[in-house]
Structure 1
């Protein structure tokens, strides 16, 4: 699944800054892709957005990029889905990363937001469905654990 809300092959910030991006999917061997790119033009750093969607094997490949190719990797993503479950990539990153830096997000109550809820068109939190649905601030709401638990209770 590719997020093409802006443009395929581009990474775009919420404020409109964009840059060319290399696309890959769950079937790609990242160590091979990165090694090939590095041989054609030396890479200084690898940036991965939406890292929660990586496979366990791809996270392992990225650790080889750091350990064997000596190229730093910065991966950005969220830990859990709208049901409070870890994504495969997040779980692997939590286990294999050398350093974790949490970017702070704030719940509507002012507390630290650590979870996300996915409201439907009527604003009611969705409790079942596909783990992945493309969208940003328009589809997901960052909340604290307390408000997440309140939202998902029957």
Structure 2
């Protein structure tokens, strides 16, 4: 029986790399997969899933109007549905994907963040944590060496931003993954700024 899977992590843990590897594995066996990413995320171009390792490919986009049941329930040739940036799913869409897995027997694997830069849950992630049949954390590390479980937002100077809209699209120049201790610390700005500067230099 198919399942709804949720693979979550903090930023920069290799979620997109894992998704693209899974797609490759299916297709190498001659099976058909359907890839989606959030229309709101255009960092690599609209409808493009890209990993920090350089892997990338085109995907369909989802937005608030996407009805996954209507789109996919009759696609009997599908071996798997893979969704990147799944934190941007609406709760109703998560339920559609859960229903899709269990009524159309199409495995669906969602990759995304669990929480935002203030430590608050994304609505899509909260529903995935509730409805997913299989949940797995993809691990990454904080600049201090501990396991990173949280995300922080940075301004253009590498200083932490604590207020603002939940959604602000950005990559290594805007976000860092941190452990819970560093997330709550008031004395780690220099470390954040240094880590941000190193990331910027590596991508120039």
Give the TM-score normalised by the residue count of structure 1: 0.90
**In the alignment, is residue 24 of structure 1 matched against residue 59 of structure 2?**
no
**In the alignment, is residue 87 of structure 1 matched against residue 122 of structure 2?**
yes
Cross-structure match for 1:124: 159
Whole-angstrom distance in 2 between the partners of 1:84 and 1:138: 19
Cross-structure match for 2:81: 46
Q: Is the 8 A contact 2:154 2:173 kept in 1?
A: no
Secondary structure at 2:184 match in 1:
helix
Give the CA deviation at 1:121: 1.4
Q: Is the 8 A contact 2:84 2:111 kept in 1?
A: yes
Q: Is the 8 A contact 1:125 1:151 kept in 2?
A: no
1:14 to 34, 44, 52: 52
Larger fraction in strand = 2
CA pair 62-122 structure 1, distance change in 2 beyond 3 A: same
Cross-structure match for 2:183: 148
Q: Is the 8 A contact 2:49 2:56 kept in 1?
A: yes
Secondary structure at 1:23 match in 2:
strand
Give the CA deviation at 1:135: 1.3
Name the Cα RMSD after superposition.
Answer: 1.6
Give the TM-score normalised by the residue count of structure 2: 0.69
What count of residue pairs does the alignment treat as equivalent?
A: 149
- Which structure exhibits the higher relative contact order, with contacts defined as CA atoms closer than 8 Å and separated by 6 or more residues? 2
**In the alignment, is residue 109 of structure 1 matched against residue 144 of structure 2?**
yes
Cross-structure match for 1:133: 168
Deviation string for 1:108-138 (max 9, x for gaps)?
1111100000011122211111111111222
Secondary structure at 1:101 match in 2:
strand
Structure 2 gaps of 5+ residues are 1-38, 188-204
Give the CA deviation at 1:8: 2.1
Cross-structure match for 2:73: 35
Q: Is the 8 A contact 2:119 2:150 kept in 1?
A: yes
Whole-angstrom distance in 1 between the partners of 2:48 and 2:137: 25
Structure 1 gaps of 5+ residues are none
